[in-house]
Amino acid sequence: MGKICINEDGQKIVSWKDCRNLAQSHGVVPREVEAWACRQGVCPSRYERSVGTLGLEGQARLLSSTAAVVGCGGLGGLIVDLLARAGVGKLILVDGDIFTDNNLNRQVLSRENLLGARKVDVAAAHVTSVNGVVEVIAHFERLSDENAESILSECDIAVDALDNNSSRTVLLEACRKLGIPMVHGAIGGFWGQACVLFPEDRAPWGAFGGADKGIETRLGNPPFTPSFIASIEAAEAIRLLSGVGKPLRDLLWCDLGNHEYYKIGISDLDQGT
């Protein structure tokens, strides 16, 4: 496996580079070697700061899991980065858009020299540069009723990084058919919301008048709101995939302008309370 060291907390650590070399020399998928090391009680060095929270078994589960991130812009670019760093073993990325000038204020993957580039291709390259064991599949297309189930068929979870409710509905319906949870997030101005939706749950956006978009059409999105909600979505995805903690079943509503935060039951939204 390579040289094993003991850190100051008594944890056995092996270099992630040794894991990579072992995988290459034996023709094994690298993430499988890292997951195997975790299950032998040895932490690949790149996850040393994670296992205190997630545990070695939780890390192994992450490495053996598959997640879809639908949308690779303001929310999605940040979510993709966090899931790759956490070691989610396979990422399915979906986006049919390119980077434009107005993405530069908040989309972490956008750059002046990348204007016009496909968001999903930039996201895929970023994943590989951050964590080479993560398998990444990029779909340069918009999620639709026709392609959703096929794209998500291997996934354990799907993460909503979309900017309209009609596409969210397509994603949720596909997740229902496949029996997998969906992590929802939405932003606008100082406001954001997030929750985990299981196949039996109703869509929270249906309680807000049914408009396809919200206040973001008027207020836009400053740089900090996507980071905040993306972190919550990534945390929920990682908790679900690792088996650590309980999912956020209530809608978390956040007002960063006044620092007000509420958890609202989905059933309460359905009843208009």
pLDDT along the chain (273 residues), means of 10: 86 95 94 96 97 97 98 98 98 98 96 98 98 98 97 98 95 98 96 96 78 70 95 98 95 96 82 43
Q: What is the pLDDT of residue 139?
A: 98
Nearest to 64, CA basis, from 12, 160, 11, 134: 134
Q: What is the pLDDT of residue 270?
A: 57
Which domains occur in the chain, in start order? 1-64 (no CATH), 65-270 (3.40.50.720)
Model pTM?
0.94
Backbone angles phi, psi at 202, to 5 degrees: -90, 155
Q: What is the pLDDT of residue 272?
A: 43
Q: What is the pLDDT of residue 108?
A: 96
Q: What is the pLDDT of residue 90?
A: 98
Distance CA 189, CA 226 (A): 10
